[in-house]
Structure 1
């Protein structure tokens, strides 16, 4: 089978990529209900989300080198098993501590799809083409998480928040069966040779390159802004604006749609305008969108529309910039693509998980803590452009 031309293989990669985001997005509307069910404060309930972000960070650090050494397929299959086990633990958790542990395990398994599908794409395509393919992959992947918050809101409002964890378990079982039958190995022989020196030398080689640091910091700022919104928006909509969980899920669809449109734009234009220019354009849109949202809120317009409509611009900018930054980080040394994915992903998710907990801890009954943190994350994205565009980083080669 020609993997570069197989639509079925692309659909499988989309499903693997969506595994982690689906599990994360479907349970977020349940955070206020979880807080009430276990009679804990906001900061403690927020640990279900933020500590799972740290699990994703550790997973991204581990999966890349493991896949470079042992291959993409076996690592992904074992990760799906971990994902299902964590989902079941969370579903039947009787204490908040067990729920946090279950969600931690679920996230550690689910993040493998995010890390290794990008690596598989990089195995099969060159630098410019991989940015385009990652954008297409992410576009398809967003379709599932786009409806996940709405589905999660329906579960919370009309059934039980525990279904928000049971649904990913069922999906994981099905995905394991399909992956076992149809997922093939793509690791290049040169990669197996390169990792014989170990993870740390490879990681050290990558972090000495300013452009790799720039791409990684940009991704970290973007993920942190996204997690700040995910951590704050359910409380802002349900507690501050007094809306049901279903309303949050339905309004979230327009943000996911904005992100998907950004990915489509990246898929169409990245090969023409180059990775670095697309990153700069996306960053500008993120900064403008967050600033406009903050101004609207300061003017006293506290409504879901006033929050989510300008945030659609933020999501569109992230959709443009993120696949290009990911492709750039993986292209610094193609023979260490898995290690690069792990190092970059760990940095991004570690910062994002810290930011998510910070937003939960500083909730004050207004949208301002979430928006100010997002603005600071946008500044990190903008600052990273200085490293990406440094003259001495040009050796990595921007697309002609």
Structure 2
């Protein structure tokens, strides 16, 4: 049901309050980055290489991508509420497994299970699209993702401090506590916004070709995936750059690491404020361009002899600004291609973004090594950002040609 009625907080017979959606999206983002400053100490604890522990980012993103393909059709069939609550419960069990894991292999297994929390991110967007039309969805998704960036913005800072004081497990205890509180809140507040499609799950999955035949769906999804690809490469490579090139402690790295999240907060605020006024395509174009500019400027600093931790992380905050402009608008565009398949579209578009992110994260970690400097990471980020610019230009050109 596309309810236009106002929600009542902690009343599961009405659509959810925006605060609940922010927290659901936030815990998904927090689980991705709170522990990153702890990767070196985790490698020491499990007596394995840093590259092995860096896989905790790549495998998480890979499973995350696969789940997103499944989550959309299942939620279109069963509804948003049971899928969100079930995914959060699995996340809590997996988080305890990460804390108690005796070796790196079991840790990585439970880390993959933690990816179940992606239901919170994917379906919070689909819930928004259930409740409001396309232009308002872009604006509301912008506000939801703006709010959720406060959590991951502070995550690496908190994670670095917790690691230094209590050890790496402390970050996962925080994830468990946050997940438990949000699960209880979702149970009390999350009213169902989607009536059953009336189709079997098999038939629901057969709806994918309808989306895959749409050039607009591909355009918006790929613009989102390529622009955000710079950030996922950053997730995989920046911890190495911070510790091995700039010699940062976990706590200092956590403080600097959040720079793109500050930019993301600003970009999402601008999306919430201006998406309805300017429209989806100009906002996506602006976002992709800003992200590419930030990486290009950071890349220039080192040959000019002024490259430092401050310029590296500071200029990459523009990647966050760009993603804050791109992701809400491109997501709203992808979800609006076939509104009756909003959950499926959210999952498939998200899978493209996260699946590509998994590969880029692993590639960034593999490209960096002794003597490489930050250049392989920055070139990779620049290539993906410019790819986003090219794709949205193609979308705009096609729409102009067809008079859309």
TM-score by length of 2: 0.93
Matched, 1:21 2:29: yes
The unaligned stretches of length 5 or more in structure 1 are: none
Q: Is the 8 A contact 2:163 2:250 kept in 1?
A: yes
Q: Shift of residue 179 of structure 1? A: 1.3
Please list every run of 5 or more consecutive structure 2 residues that lacks an aligned counterpart in the other structure: 11-16
1:81-132 superposed Cα distances (whole Å, 9 cap, x missing partner): 111011111111111111111111112x211111000000000010100000
Q: For the structure 1 residues 363 and 39, does the alpha-carbon distance in structure 2 shift closer, same or farther, using more than 3 Å as the test?
A: farther
Partner SS for 1:238: helix
Measured at CA, do residues 396 and 146 of structure 1 come closer, stay the same or move farther in structure 2, by a change above 3 Å? Answer: farther
For 1:7-156, list aligned pairs within 5 A.
9-107=17-115, 109-156=116-163
2:395 is matched with which residue?
Answer: 388
Shift of the 202–393 alpha-carbon distance from structure 1 to 2, 3 Å rule, reads farther
Separation in 1 of the partners of 2:353 and 2:254? 25
Write the deviation string for residues 269-303 of structure 1: whole angstroms up to 9, x where unpaired: 11011000100011111111100001112333342
Alignment root-mean-square deviation, CA? 2.0
SS in 2 for 1:43: helix
1:220-369 equivalences under 5 Å are: 220-365=225-370, 366-369=373-376
Q: Normalization by structure 1: what TM-score?
A: 0.94
Contact kept in structure 1, 2:74 and 2:201, CA below 8 Å: no
Pairs aligned (count): 394
The match for 1:211 is 216
Determine the C-alpha separation between the residues in 2 that align with 1:249 and 1:274: 35
Mean Cα displacement is larger for which, 22-31 or 293-302? 293-302
Q: CA deviation at 1:42?
A: 3.0
CA distance 1:262–1:4, change in 2 (3 Å): farther
2: distance between equivalents of 1:196 and 1:93?
A: 35
Cα 1:259–1:4 change in 2 (3 A) is farther
Deviant stretches of 4+, over 4 Å: 1-8, 194-197, 392-397
Would you say the 8 A contact 1:234–1:245 is kept in 2?
Answer: no
SS in 1 for 2:34: helix
